[in-house]
Amino acid sequence: MDIGSLLLILAISLLAGFVVSRPFFAESSDKSTDEEITELLAGKELKLSNLMSEKERIFTTLQELETDHALKKIPDEEFPKQRVVLVHAAAKTLRDIDELEVEIKSILKETSVQKKGASLAANAGIPNEVLEELIAARRRSRSEKSAGFCPHCGKVIQSSDVFCPACGSRVSAS
């Protein structure tokens, strides 16, 4: 072999290697954004869990305070002060929980919009609604009456079938 053919083989193998390895590099960037979103959501959900346990603690303390007041363990002068403090703490915790839930929902909505956009790109720019309409039209056209049964597997075939849709064997023209 001369040097020209060796260089041509080398160039073709490098090109093939690049084409084969390209999906690995493209997918790694998608994984990193997915991992970042997952870590962000995990942090938010951990904070939400902490706030929920804080809410339960405050409500339990408030219930114990009211029980102690009913049993006359706490003086009448102290009860309103302590109750106001606990009610304000509970309100603040509930506000924080609501804000965090809104943040989590917005993050989930953004990621679903991004994934929907990615699915449009994966479908070569054809929106899902158009694909669904094409599938429905195909099913309507296939709703013709059956022409009999496959001689090999016994499944129903239509008059327009050349091959059995179940087993793939050739159907004789009737």
Question: Where do the structural domains in the chain lie, given as residue ranges?
Answer: 3-143, 144-174
User: What pLDDT shows up at residue 143?
Assistant: 66
Point out the residues of the chain with pLDDT beneath 50. none
CA distance 101 to 122: 31
User: What pLDDT shows up at residue 78?
Assistant: 92
- Token digits for 70? 């009913």
Residue tagged 């060796």 (tokens): 6
Rounded alpha-carbon distances, angstroms, from residue 165 to 76, 150, 168: 83, 9, 6
Residue tagged 């479908």 (tokens): 123
pLDDT digits (tens, 9 = 90+) for 105-152: 888 888 776 665 555 555 556 677 888 888 888 777 666 667 788 888
User: What pLDDT shows up at residue 124?
Assistant: 58
User: What pLDDT shows up at residue 134?
Assistant: 82
Length of the chain: 174
3-state DSSP call for residue 172?
coil
User: What pLDDT shows up at residue 139?
Assistant: 76
- Token digits for 83? 């109750």
User: What pLDDT shows up at residue 8?
Assistant: 92
CA distance 96 to 47: 10
CA distance 171 to 97: 65
